[in-house]
Structure 1
Amino acid sequence: MKTYSINSKILRQLWSIVEETQTSTLLGLNDTDLVKQLLEQIEKQKALNPQETNTLSAYIHSKTLLIRDLAQARLVNC
């Protein structure tokens, strides 16, 4: 299986969006909807080609636990 790299600018954009997204949204959505939501936010700022979309989608899926851990930590620190 061939793997593709993700542009570092897109990764920074993703994690910035994660930080800006409401904690309740990050914790309340199932994995599929969370990935869709984050992809939609990124695509509002930058058009992605199909390969970038697929690669980023797989990356976000692999990081859903981390995303939720970060959101949970925000609740504790508030």
Structure 2
Amino acid sequence: MNASLMRKLWSVIEASQNQIILGLDDSRLCQWLLDQLAGDPLFDRNQSAAVSRYIHAKLPLIRDFAQFS
């Protein structure tokens, strides 16, 4: 996962409504974030597995960010 894609992911998280992030279970949140990235030209579907692993590893941080922002 390159730095540009990582920045894009965190931009999506920051711009998302907190209720969406906090209301979805882990699998659905991961899929929702992948879907949000899918329209970005920097996103290569071949990277989906790596991005998914990154998201799963950062889920507690993502949820904390949503809860306290």
TM class by shorter chain equals over 0.9
What is the CA deviation profile of residues 21-65 of structure 1, one whole-angstrom value per residue up to 9, with x for unaligned ones?
100000000000000000000011134132x11000000001110
Q: Once the 2 structures are TM-superposed, how far is the Cα of residue 15 of structure 1 from its aligned partner?
A: 0.1
What is the alpha-carbon distance in structure 2 between the residues aligned to residue 56 and residue 24 of structure 1?
Answer: 22
What is the alpha-carbon distance in structure 1 between the residues aligned to residue 63 and residue 45 of structure 2?
Answer: 27
Larger gyration radius, structure 1 or structure 2: 1
Matched length: 68
Which runs of 5 or more structure 2 residues have no equivalent in the other structure?
Answer: none
| TM-score scaled by length of structure 2 | 0.93
2:45 equivalent to 1:49: yes
Identity %: 38
Q: Which runs of 4+ in 1 moved over 4 A?
A: none
